[in-house]
Amino acid sequence: MPFRLDQSWLFSKVGVASQAMRRIGIVLMVVTVAGFILSGAALLFNQDWWKGVGVVSAVASALLLIVYFHPLTVLGLVSTRSFCRS
């Protein structure tokens, strides 16, 4: 795993406990994964609201990558940016 949910450069600076960091990371992961699944299902069934759910999922994913930054997460951010351009 490229990063640990109990270690965050941002949360460490403000004194958040490692257990709280882990809980926040899990929430962000659940929002990301569930949101992308829901967005894909909504798109499959031609629902108009799929875009909003997809945007929320993408923001949660970017927050997860930034807040729990590890040098390997740069690959995730770069691939997301290049995917959005095409």
The predicted-structure confidence for 55-85, as pLDDT tens digits, reads as follows: 999 999 889 888 988 777 677 666 655 555 5
Residue 73 in domain: yes
Return all residues near 83 (Cβ < 8 A) that are at least 6 apart. none
Q: What confidence tens digit (pLDDT) does each residue in 12-63 have?
A: 889 999 999 999 999 999 999 999 999 999 999 999 999 999 999 999 988 9
Q: What is the model's pTM?
A: 0.78
Q: How many domains does the chain have?
A: 1
Residue 67 counted as domain residue: yes
d(CA 12, CA 1) in angstroms, rounded, equals 20
The rounded distance, in Å, linking the Cα atoms of 31 and 37 is: 10
Asked whether residue 1 is assigned to any structural domain, the reply reads no
Q: Which helix (H) or strand (E) holds 10?
A: helix 9-13
